[in-house]
Structure 1
Amino acid sequence: METQGESKDSRVQAIAGRLHPAWVGVLGALLYLPTTRYGLIRYDDPWLIRDNALLHHFTWDGIRRVFFDLSLEQRLQLGAEYLPVRDLSVMLDFAIWGDRFAGHHVTQVLLYAGLCALAATLVLRLFEKRALAWWVGVAFALHPVHVEAVAWLSERKGVLGGLLFFGAACLGVRYLRVGRVAWLAGCLLLFAASVLAKGHMLGGAAALAMCALWCADAPSQRRWALGASAVVLGALVFVPIYVAGQSVGMVQPYHGGGFLQTLALSCTVHGKYLLLMMLGGPYSIAYPVGADFANVGLLGLGLLGLLVFAFFTVRAVFQSSRRSAANFGLGWWLIFLAPVSHVVFPLQNLLADRYLLIGSWGLLLVFGVGVVRLPSRGAWVVGLSWLVASTTWSVTQLGHWESSRALRLHAVSVHPSHVESWHRLASQAEEEGKYEQAEAYVARGLEQAGSATDRWRLYHRRALILEKQGRVDEAIRWMRAAASQPAAHKAYANLGLLLARRGEIQDGLEQVRRACEYQPRSVHNQRAHGIVALEAGEVDEACAAFAEARALEPFNADNHFNLGLCELRRGDQRASDKAFEQALELRPNLAEQIDQARRSVLR
């Protein structure tokens, strides 16, 4: 006789059996609905989205530049990356929403909802187990490690790339089962688009090959066609991404230098990622993990995880009887861990939640397998407990993304020695005119600063705070302290501006020249060079610097205006008029300022 509890379980299973697991997308959308009232975060959003005039207009010329202009200047304007599909999505956002950034967040949430739906669908397509697809889909939609990718507009590339890739994988499995070439073509098209949205999706070629391997009932020619074509296409599509990254210096040297230290870092990062996947929060944009052997616990956990996961994955690859859903999940995790492990490519950030958006599906598949193997009552207890904890962490982390200040304050609470966050907090307080608070943040950062790089950045911020208060002599003293190494090129440029302001023109000119020598690709450095050179009477030198600033940032009206003014001072009326016309096209309200400049110079 069926008990009341068993009756309820059977009814729930019957409902789940009728509903397609893609409905988990609604759950993901509801979780992130609060972000639709958020704005921009002072963390790449302003310069990559708000101030990037190229992406504000959906035009054929803009599309051409995004896809085909690989010049240094164009790549620097687009985040020093070649990700045209991401950029195209931002252009569409501006076409639909304009500068109402809440609307951009709506797009982000809808993309994530689609991503969750396809993630659950892939489980169903691969393993044909509806209960497993539901558990994995819900766990994926609610996991807190995804908050950074969804709440941060600058990570559009991850959400969009993930959506496209899961769509590609679903079509790929469909091709393996049915065999129509149209499904293969659609799969490859979406896969290529996913790589052009986020370069790390290149690992998807191996994931598609693994899908082909696990679908043992498919004819061998289909399996070879999918796996081989994905690998070849992925390599071809990645070429311009790599070339663009090399040209702008995005391919970084390995952290710490030595290979052994890189392996230690990789294992430590993996250990931290495993803790985050197991809901071992708090979650943040910064974690106290370094490129050393200091955290033996994380290093050991990461190394053990790598060895165990690799063992089960490799065994399943070579023994078809071992190709289970759980082993597929472990292989998927390792595939998408590789691009962010620092072994294949050294990354700017040691680790970040957003790096796990796609790879997390693999470990959550393992979790889902474990849940469905439990007795019914135990499955519900374990599964629901996990989902409640996951949702709690996600909601908590979402609150930190509501504002830049909240995000950074949380970061320093998790990682007090994260000098970058102290610096950002000081910068925001300075812009708001809260100079005492800004100085307090600088002081806290200096207490934590362990390297010369950390110190010069905080000295630089302190000098800017003092300059805002009119304390120029003190500002120059701290700016000189900041201008201590080539990496501090911006401090040299600002020191030159401060010295010129105090009347020390030649010393100032020497400093801005040095700034441009250390980093000629900086718009700020070239602009400062032009300003000081013009004051020094070096008009030709000033015009050359302003021309370089315009080339680096052609959609900034100020760069055209500065060049127009300089050409006017040089006596080249034609070049001046052309530069002023371009400035007016970008910002029509400059007309009065241009007239005043002409009258002032011609007088």
Structure 2
Amino acid sequence: MKPSAVLPDFSSCRGLRWAAGGLLLLTLTLLAYAPALRGGLLWDDDGHLTRPELRSVSGLMRIWTDVGATQQYYPLLHSGFWLEHRLWGESVTGYHLMNVVLHTLAALLVVAIVRRLFGARENATAWLAGALFALHPVGVESVAWISEQKNTLSAVFYLAAALVFLKWYSGNGTPAAASRSSDVAGGGDPGAGLSEAGYMPMSTGEQGRHRLLSFGYFLASFLFLCALLTKTVTATLPAALMVVLWWRRGRLGWRRDVLPLVPWLAAGVTAGLFTAWVERTHIGARGDAFALDFFERGLVAGRAILFYLGKLLWPTELVFIYPRWTIDAGNAWQWVFPLAVLALLIGLIALARRYRGPLAAFLFFAGTLFPALGFFDVYPFLYSYVADHFAYLASLGVIVPAAFGFVLAGRRLPRRARAIAPIAATVLLLTLAAATWRQSGHYRDAETLWRATLARNPGSSMAHNNLGEILASRPERNAEAIEHFCAAAQADPQNAPALNNLGLALAKDPTRMAEAIASYEQAIRVQPELINPRNNLGVLLTSMPGRLDDGITHLREAARMDPSSAGVRDNLGVALLRAGRSAEAAEEFAAAVSLQPDAAALRNRLGVALANVPGREAEALAEFRTAVELDPNSAEARMNLARALASQPEHGAEAIEQLEAALRIAPTLGEAHGLLGRILLTIPERLREATEHLQQAVAVQPESAELRQAFGVALLRDPARTPDAIRELEAAVRLAPDMMEAHYALGVALSGAPARQADARRHFRRTLELQPDFGPARQALAELEATRND
């Protein structure tokens, strides 16, 4: 029976068929994933996309040479992200579109592989399998989530390696007679002879000898290495190929079948063990949550296999984070899952005497899932033992047999009913596409995703925490955020990040500081090695009266635990600066700058600390200059640079330029107005400007005694404004009773008013109490005393 009985056959025009089929599949896939194409960043996407410090060519080198430079050590994946950033920058649409294209390309590779394995007569099976893979909603998590480009990209390399290997293995020969009598199930079902060109021959003798030094083998090996460098779950490919070869031949030969895959197995095992080490040491897959014994891991594996099988056959109630199972080897009913898997395996082994296909499909399915079945610790197990993206490649072990079964059933319908088959295939694909479209809508943005997750998994501590983070970023939603953080902590009392976030949210309410401190302290007790709660507790305590030293203690401990955290070193520097320990603060800021040399804010704060350390003024000036060069729009850095320049008379003009630039950036910056006013006050022809700037400074900072005093002095230069000058200077004295300059200026202003001579003398005397050797005050007082004696 011709394949066209189920789907159109374009074998007479192969290029047109592939072009038309590929374009149609891409169009359908784009439509199915349309809701996610303009989606935002989700969960750990910002950790996967190329960070600013890695966007240079040297950053690309770090991606390959520094294990901790990226979220996970998948250098080819992150090199792809690096290139994509060069192409479309911060636009997330480009990343989403690339994921859909890669997913479609993987589906087309599935088509090619199925054609090579099953024969050209199974064109319908191949295209149906590719379409099912492209449109199945279980794939949404891998395609709509940018971070899972590791799945789509590695799948392209994985499938391309498989296709090239199978083509190399066949040697482009003609099928052996023994193969022509076999069916795709691996047994002897008549009526399924597969001897057309394009079918992978399983020849023997000279024709079947493998050429390990041939280009085809090296190309396949290179593609497999690329897959490993993108995501090491692809390490299962050599085992999968052995299953395929056993399925087609019924046996495995050492030299013919196994030996070519030994280097792949070695590379896969090495890469897998390395990734397990990275998961444990760099990502955090360790602790009590992973303390499962062998039997408990077997319970997880059995349940997971049946779970994924169920989701692939009936893809409903899909959710980003599934409930985390409570594993208890002492609970008899939990053994039902592994025993059911064992029974299924035994049944398939018995069936393999006649039909090897079902057993091969199951071995591919379970083997490809093996890295995510619980025998290795991976970080997502903290939240759930299962996830849709774990089944991305493994789904082919269900999809391909399902496609073949569908086509075979269509062929066996009565002749008059066979038109039902293509209609049923179309309905099935459209139904899956609609489910994918609906599921993709959950990935529009992070808030939608977490709310959809909580709708189906209300006990997800992680979803509550992440939704709370989003809400906490909106001041008007902070109370709702606190509710979600509390729910997260209630669902999982060991969720230290949620307790830390709860502390951050509570600290925004001045009346709940004690609760915030308690939340931070609980997070530290739960996970002592976590830096953020200790850092945040230190920052909070340094802002509270009488707790500065306690805050510094916590920040020092955080810096000791993670000396490579520029943020922690910066916070410690700020606290030390507040405590008047400028030299120590400068050390911390310098350490932060060494970690982030292009951070203008760190350079600026280092300059502030150095400016307060005697003898290091030149270094401070250099840091301020660097800060301005790195961020010309930083008004604060320009103002600090101006302050440093103003202390050197020869740089007065440059100081004025910097302050004027700062005020163009931030017109209401009171300190800049005040400093500029004081500098201009020394230039007689610019007295009017000085007065205006000081007036604006006082309007912004009316409680600044220094500004009120400077403004009073400026007003005093205009005899007509002496009353205003007296008002400002009296305010300065009230704000700072021990400010010698304010008392002296006020004495000068009052000495011109006959009715206030006594007040003038009193302020001159106070000036001399504060600075006995101040000659102008002594002379002015003497003159007033002489006038009174007359």
- TM-score normalized by structure 1? 0.84
Equivalent residue for 1:365? 400
Map 1:99-114 onto structure 2 (within 5 A).
Answer: 99-114=90-105
Q: 1:266 to 1:495 in 2, by over 3 A?
A: same
Deviation at 1:525, TM superposition (A): 3.7
Deviation at 1:558, TM superposition (A): 4.6
1:172–1:226 contact (8 Å) kept in structure 2:
no
Report the more deviating stretch, 225-234 or 130-139.
225-234
Deviation at 1:130, TM superposition (A): 1.8
Equivalent residue for 1:423? 465
Deviations 1:503-560 (A, max 9, x none): 3210111222344456556554444333323323445654554455556666755555
Equivalent residue for 1:339? 371
Match of 1:165 among 158, 162, 165: 158
Determine the C-alpha separation between the residues in 2 that align with 1:34 and 1:477: 41
Deviation at 1:592, TM superposition (A): 4.3
Deviation at 1:574, TM superposition (A): 7.9
Find out whether 1:62 has 2:96 as its counterpart: no
Q: Point out where structure 2 has 5 or more consecutive residues left out of the alignment.
A: 172-209, 648-790
Determine the C-alpha separation between the residues in 2 that align with 1:310 and 1:550: 59
Q: 1:489 to 1:472 in 2, by over 3 A?
A: farther
Deviation at 1:87, TM superposition (A): 0.8
Equivalent residue for 2:36? 35
Q: 1:344 to 1:567 in 2, by over 3 A?
A: same
Determine the C-alpha separation between the residues in 2 that align with 1:297 and 1:368: 36
Map 1:21-100 onto structure 2 (within 5 A).
Answer: 24-41=25-42, 43-49=43-49, 52-57=51-56, 59=57, 61-70=58-67, 75=68, 77-79=69-71, 81-100=72-91
Find out whether 1:224 has 2:261 as its counterpart: no
Equivalent residue for 1:442? 484
Determine the C-alpha separation between the residues in 2 that align with 1:244 and 1:443: 29
Secondary structure in 2 aligned to 1:449? helix
Q: 1:211 to 1:502 in 2, by over 3 A?
A: same
Q: 1:575 to 1:107 in 2, by over 3 A?
A: farther
Q: 1:490 to 1:220 in 2, by over 3 A?
A: closer
Determine the C-alpha separation between the residues in 1 that align with 2:244 and 2:598: 45
Secondary structure in 1 aligned to 2:501? helix
Report the more deviating stretch, 485-494 or 550-559.
550-559
Q: 1:560 to 1:466 in 2, by over 3 A?
A: same
2:502–2:516 contact (8 Å) kept in structure 1:
yes
Q: 1:500 to 1:275 in 2, by over 3 A?
A: same
Deviation at 1:561, TM superposition (A): 5.1
Match of 1:148 among 141, 148, 172: 141
Secondary structure in 1 aligned to 2:249? coil
Equivalent residue for 1:329? 361
Deviations 1:546-601 (A, max 9, x none): 4555566667555555555555555657876787787677x534654333334557
Determine the C-alpha separation between the residues in 2 that align with 1:491 and 1:574: 37
Match of 1:289 among 321, 324, 329: 324
Deviations 1:409-460 (A, max 9, x none): 00100110112222222221221222355346437726x7233224x54454
Match of 1:411 among 434, 450, 453: 453
2:63–2:79 contact (8 Å) kept in structure 1:
yes
Match of 2:435 among 384, 393, 397: 393
Determine the C-alpha separation between the residues in 2 that align with 1:493 and 1:538: 19
Map 1:510-521 onto structure 2 (within 5 A).
Answer: 510-516=553-559
Task: Give identity over the alignment, percent.
Answer: 21
1:442–1:461 contact (8 Å) kept in structure 2:
no
Q: 1:601 to 1:208 in 2, by over 3 A?
A: farther
Secondary structure in 2 aligned to 1:269? helix
Equivalent residue for 2:9? 14
Corresponding pairs, count: 580
Determine the C-alpha separation between the residues in 1 that align with 2:259 and 2:142: 33
Equivalent residue for 1:482? 520
Deviation at 1:100, TM superposition (A): 1.8
Deviation at 1:124, TM superposition (A): 1.5
Deviation at 1:405, TM superposition (A): 0.9
Deviation at 1:64, TM superposition (A): 1.4
Report the more deviating stretch, 556-565 or 187-196.
556-565
Equivalent residue for 1:3? none
Q: 1:166 to 1:566 in 2, by over 3 A?
A: farther
Find out whether 1:530 has 2:573 as its counterpart: yes
In our comparison, the structure showing a higher alpha carbon Rg is 2
Determine the C-alpha separation between the residues in 1 that align with 2:256 and 2:40: 46
Q: 1:258 to 1:160 in 2, by over 3 A?
A: same
Determine the C-alpha separation between the residues in 1 that align with 2:430 and 2:353: 36
Determine the C-alpha separation between the residues in 1 that align with 2:129 and 2:332: 29
1:464–1:475 contact (8 Å) kept in structure 2:
no
Secondary structure in 2 aligned to 1:452? coil
Secondary structure in 2 aligned to 1:248? helix
Determine the C-alpha separation between the residues in 2 that align with 1:258 and 1:397: 35
Q: Point out where structure 1 has 5 or more consecutive residues left out of the alignment.
A: 1-5
Deviations 1:479-520 (A, max 9, x none): 323322115542222121112112321011122234445655
Map 1:535-574 onto structure 2 (within 5 A).
Answer: 535-539=578-582, 541-543=584-586, 545-546=588-589, 549=592, 558-559=601-602, 562-563=605-606, 565-566=608-609, 569=612
Equivalent residue for 2:106? 115
Deviation at 1:136, TM superposition (A): 1.3
2:280–2:377 contact (8 Å) kept in structure 1:
no
Determine the C-alpha separation between the residues in 1 that align with 2:302 and 2:73: 29
Determine the C-alpha separation between the residues in 1 that align with 2:234 and 2:604: 41
Aligned letter for 2:510?
V
1:176–1:212 contact (8 Å) kept in structure 2:
no
Q: 1:281 to 1:555 in 2, by over 3 A?
A: farther
Aligned letter for 2:376?
V
Q: 1:493 to 1:176 in 2, by over 3 A?
A: same
Find out whether 1:472 has 2:510 as its counterpart: yes
Determine the C-alpha separation between the residues in 1 that align with 2:160 and 2:625: 46
Report the more deviating stretch, 133-142 or 229-238.
229-238
Deviations 1:209-236 (A, max 9, x none): 3344445399964533431121123345
Determine the C-alpha separation between the residues in 2 that align with 1:556 and 1:205: 47
1:332–1:359 contact (8 Å) kept in structure 2:
yes
Q: 1:271 to 1:211 in 2, by over 3 A?
A: closer
Equivalent residue for 2:692? none
Secondary structure in 2 aligned to 1:39? coil
Aligned letter for 1:223?
D
2:624–2:641 contact (8 Å) kept in structure 1:
no
Task: Kindly report the root-mean-square deviation, in angstroms, between the aligned alpha carbons of the 2 structures.
Answer: 3.7
Q: 1:176 to 1:531 in 2, by over 3 A?
A: same
Q: 1:252 to 1:443 in 2, by over 3 A?
A: closer
1:48–1:78 contact (8 Å) kept in structure 2:
yes
